[in-house]
């Protein structure tokens, strides 16, 4: 079945540091890939997405590239801010799942001033 | 434009009781999915509703049931509550046939004591 593996957290960075959160996946067919963010006490917000190989999703300074050869979708940001502190979830929808999202376990990011 | 609205926000129930959670989808969305998010975990798919029918179901027992109404709103019912049912329950809506990565509500925090 479909699965998503994210790097273990928590991740603690200083403001303006470079961020990478690794994500790899197993899926049938050609999945669409997503990063969601969850701020404390809130639901999930879609951060970015990519629907085919070599697509780059980007939003709010975050980027992730769909790498089919390595089945990866790593999240990066060049300079994090305190306001980026949240839990980040990698997720996928595969062709045979009729839009069911499969999530990783999440990575807690804390950015200190 | 209101997003996905869930009620109640918090709920405390006793083992063995039954609970009903409610969700109003974002305007223009006709599918509703429910997810269970245990503490420190990624959301797990429960089921999806479209045209008032359950279209897909995750690996959850029959104690979990749902309903979608003609106005696209939805209910999640859980019978014979167990302590392990304590979690954040998230509702997500989207337009069928055009997947952008669902819009999530803020969730209902269910505590079973």
Q: In this predicted model, what pLDDT tens digit does every residue of A59-109 receive, in sequence order?
A: 999 999 999 999 999 999 999 999 999 999 999 987 665 678 999 999 999
Asked if residue A39 has pLDDT above 70, the reply is yes
Query: How much is the pLDDT for A1?
Result: 84
Give me the residues of chain B with pLDDT under 50, please.
Answer: none
Residue-level pLDDT at B102: 85
pLDDT value, residue A42: 84
- Residue B16 buriedness (CB in 10 A; 0-12 / 13-18 / 19+): exposed
Chain A positions in Cβ-Cβ contact with residue B4 (cut-off 8 Å): 43
Task: Out of B48, B101, B106, name the one closest to residue A100 (CB).
Answer: B48
CB contact under 8 A, B106 and A99: no
> How many residues in chain A?
113
| A35, A64 contact by CB (below 8 A) | yes
Tell me which residue in B40, B43, B101 faces A46 most closely, judged by beta carbons.
B101
What is residue B58's predicted lDDT score, i.e. its pLDDT? 92
A100 to B102: CB separation less than 8 angstroms, yes or no: no
Q: Which of B101, B102, B104, B108 to mutate to test the interface with A (most CBs of A within 10 A)?
A: B101
Q: In chain B, whose CA is at the least distance from the CA of A106?
A: B42
Contact B104 A45 (CB under 8 A): yes
Query: Cβ atoms within 10 A of the Cβ of A54, count?
Result: 10
- End-to-end Cα separation, chain B, in angstroms: 37
The A residues from 43 to 102 touching B (CB cutoff 8 Å) are 43-46, 49, 89, 91, 93, 97-102
Q: Provide the pLDDT for residue B100.
A: 65
Q: Best mutation site among B3, B42, B56 for testing chain A: the one with the most A CBs within 10 Å? A: B42
């Amino acid at each position: 079945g479909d699965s998503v593996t994210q790097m273990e957290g928590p991740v603690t960075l200083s403001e303006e540091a470079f961020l990478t959160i690794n994500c790899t996946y197993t899926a049938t067919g050609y999945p669409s890939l997503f990063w969601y963010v969850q701020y404390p006490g809130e639901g999930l917000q879609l951060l970015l997405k990519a629907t085919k190989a070599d697509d780059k999703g980007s939003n709010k300074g975050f980027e992730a590239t769909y790498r089919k050869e390595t089945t990866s979708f790593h999240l990066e940001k060049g300079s994090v801010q305190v306001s980026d502190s949240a839990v980040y979830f990698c997720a996928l929808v595969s062709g045979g799942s009729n839009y069911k999202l499969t999530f990783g376990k999440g990575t807690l990011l804390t950015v200190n001033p | 434009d209101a997003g996905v609205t869930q009620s109640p926000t918090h709920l405390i129930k006793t083992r063995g009781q039954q609970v009903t959670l409610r969700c109003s989808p974002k305007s223009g969305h006709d599918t509703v999915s429910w997810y269970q998010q245990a503490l420190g975990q990624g959301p797990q798919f429960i089921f999806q509703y479209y045209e008032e029918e359950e279209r897909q179901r995750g690996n959850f027992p029959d104690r979990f049931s749902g309903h979608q109404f003609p106005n696209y709103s939805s209910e999640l019912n859980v019978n014979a509550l167990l302590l392990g049912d304590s979690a954040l329950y998230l509702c997500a809506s989207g337009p069928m046939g055009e997947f952008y990565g669902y819009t999530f509500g803020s969730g209902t925090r269910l505590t079973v004591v």
